[in-house]
Amino acid sequence: MFNLHLQSTTKIIAQNFSVNIESAAQGGIDTAILWQYQDKDAEKLTKVGIPTLLIYNDTVENLKKSFLIIGKLLGKEERAAKINEYYDTTNKKIIAKKAWEKTDKPTVLFLRNAKLRLQGNDNFMHEAIRIGGGENPYDQIALNGGSEQTIAMEEVYKLNPDIILLSNFDKFVPDDLYDNKIPGQDWSTVKAVQQKRVYKVPMGIYRWDAPGVETPLMMEWLAHVLQPELFKELDVRADAKKFYEEFMHYNISEADMAQIFADEANKNSKPLF
| Prediction pTM value | 0.87
At the top level of CATH, which class does the domain 21-87 belong to? Answer: alpha beta
The per-residue pLDDT string of the chain (273 residues; one tens digit each, 9 = 90 and over) reads 334 344 455 577 776 778 888 888 888 888 888 888 888 999 999 999 999 988 887 778 888 999 999 999 999 999 999 999 999 999 999 999 999 999 999 999 999 999 999 986 456 788 899 999 999 887 655 444 445 588 999 999 999 999 999 999 999 999 999 999 999 999 999 999 999 999 999 999 999 988 889 999 999 999 999 999 999 999 999 999 999 999 999 999 999 999 999 999 999 999 987
Characterize the bridge pairing of strands 108-111 and 163-166: parallel
Q: What is the pLDDT of residue 139?
A: 63
* CA–CA distance, 20 with 259 (Å, rounded to integer): 30
φ and ψ at residue 133, rounded to 5 degrees? 95, 30
As annotated, the residues of the chain forming the CATH 3.40.50.1980 domain(s) are 21-87, 95-260
φ and ψ at residue 143, rounded to 5 degrees? -60, -30
User: Nearest-5° angle of CA 148, CA 119, CA 134?
Assistant: 135
Distance of CA 28 to the CA centre of its chain: 30
- Residue of 223, 156, 225, 220 whose CA lies nearest to 188: 156
Pair 13, 1: CB distance under 8 Å:
yes
Q: Where are the alpha helices (DSSP H) in 96-235?
A: 124-131, 139-143, 153-159, 174-178, 191-194, 215-226
* CA–CA distance, 124 with 208 (Å, rounded to integer): 11
Strand partners, 149: none
* CA–CA distance, 1 with 14 (Å, rounded to integer): 11
Pair 247, 215: CB distance under 8 Å:
no
Q: What is the pLDDT of residue 120?
A: 62
DSSP annotation of 54 reads: E
What is the gyration radius of the CA atoms in the chain, in angstroms?
19
Instruction: Please count the other Cβ atoms lying within 10 Å of the Cβ belonging to residue 154.
Output: 8
- Residue of 47, 193, 58 whose CA lies nearest to 127: 58
* CA–CA distance, 270 with 171 (Å, rounded to integer): 20
What CATH homologous superfamily does 95-260 map to? Nitrogenase molybdenum iron protein domain (3.40.50.1980)
